A and B are shown apart, each in its own frame.
Chain A
């Protein structure tokens, strides 16, 4: 190809790229970035008397304040709720890993024809309404006196998020080359050693993506603790919901949201850093 041809090709490629990337980019700018900025702005405003915000027209002094943040950092209870939410998210993620791993492994090891059916069964619960499924847990846990306990919250969280752990793990395990396990066995590794030295390290990328898909939504989830948890099981998600819908303190709700976002980003950043360090070589399979 001559230089002009290459240039034409390049400009053509740029043009197609915009056609393809344009609409989703515009969508994300309009409905994700702008609302996020509105939330940031709202956290520095004064709450309106009946919800909403004090209008800026009444003078900036009356409308802008750091009150929400002063409130947030002024009371230890918010830090405690953050910590409790992280604990619930961590526990849920861990239980999901332990439960999803054997399931994903079995699906990945089953005959190719049956795998699609099994994966379908894993995602089948999504076919019914989320709230209906949570209400079903109320029916199940009520008679055995486990309703409105931390156990109920974790059980509900695990139930809702398990497929998000199974699918990435399955996708990862399915791609493992069986020759690697044969090689390990041939070189003297027992079944247990083969798992811990070959299968498990190679499945870390799957565990990491599954964990991100479970941990982050659990952190912000309010429906499960609201329906299954007791009064002591309030999490950040509930707190934010309350500020907007019940307390009508939008600035505090916004500040809490921003706190949650920063915590999630920090967590995701750390996880990515850890993943990059721990996963050298595993990219080849995943």
Chain B
């Protein structure tokens, strides 16, 4: 889905809203704490029904942005619009936006049902409607038989589900999730990820998810805004973020990657090629408009790097001899760090189940690595 701020033909001025109207529009929002801009001129539009993720390291401004959407904080500059209406000055309790907090923040003195009924009671729903909606929502998160339990009697995963149910039960326009899976162990986390995807699809509520875990963001989201130092570095779909990172920060933050410093040179057939200080000439597919003399780096995912015993076995233009420096066996795959004779250390990732890959290399083994000319992405700067 492409987002453009269009120009309206009748008077040629910038329109008040982007077209078509987004559910939530964040326009040129800045929030400063002292001299530090925690959020720095961020603009983005979130559409109805989206699973949108704000991804970034701690301190990148994602939580500050979330708090401004919820209403716990106000921007110093810029504005937020929900359904086209400005949110400025509207208290958190008046916004049709609910939050699932990192600590869950379940009311310890209320039962699971009491917690889930709370937003409905605040919205002054009828007693009958409340009990029906609570029952439905308990079923939605598979907690039918835990309605009378108190939060301290629940497991971490169950608390998580109650927090989700409480956030969803009154059908907010927007559900904000602040690192909600952070407190769960790895296995449970993965189960909850699948449940979150299903839940979001079933209820159709727009999710704005905040996380520093890039794998989680890739697994869950329709679109991801990668944030760093208060700015949005790239806003894209998960596969675009992974395969075509816009800059060094995104390439490095999302997944593992080899970054090879290189300069653009004129290749043998008039095509521009790359010359890396460490590796010499490299065959690479460069984006449009890249000219000889530009400097930057080739970003190459480890799973695109092939490793074999013999250099000759690699029918690739980019191939180098080296030695396994270290390796990390994690079950389904093994991560290798290969010290190339040219001096560079390259990372490769080999699946352990692929046919012909029966042999695992050991540290110190002489190997050859190579990659297709179109495997990497050239990043300027």
Contacts and interface: CB of A to CB of B under 8 A. Distances in A.
A183 B91 CA distance: 13
A185 interface: yes
Contacts of B166: 187
Interface string B91-105: 111100111010101
A67 B101 CA distance: 68
Interface in A70-114: none
Contact of A188 (B108, B111, B123, B150): B123
Given A179-B101, A188-B93, A189-B93, A201 B109 contact: yes
Interface string B161-197: 0000011001000000000000000000000000000
B135 to A, nearest CB: 19
A189 B122 contact: yes
A183 B93 contact: no
Interface stretch (A160-168, A206-214, A225-233, A278-286): A278-286
A285 B92 CA distance: 25
Interface residues of B, number: 29
B81 interface: no
A177 interface: yes
Given A179-B103, A186-B93, A285 B118 contact: no
A188 B97 CA distance: 9
B361 interface: no
A193 B105 CA distance: 17
A202 interface: yes
Contacts of B238: none
B108 A202 contact: yes
Contacts of A177: 103, 105
Nearest to A201: B109
A198 interface: yes
B151 interface: yes
A180 interface: yes
Interface string A45-79: 00000000000000000000000000000000000
Given A187-B98, A187-B170, A281-B108, 12 more contacts: A177-B103, A182-B72, A182-B105, A183-B105, A187-B93, A202-B108, A279-B109, A281-B110, A281-B111, A281-B150, A284-B150, A285-B108
Q: Which 10 residue pairs of A and B lie closest in terms of their CB atoms, listed nearest first?
A: A188-B122, A183-B105, A284-B108, A179-B105, A187-B119, A281-B109, A281-B150, A284-B152, A186-B99, A282-B109
Interface of A: 177, 179-180, 182-190, 193, 197-198, 201-202, 279-285
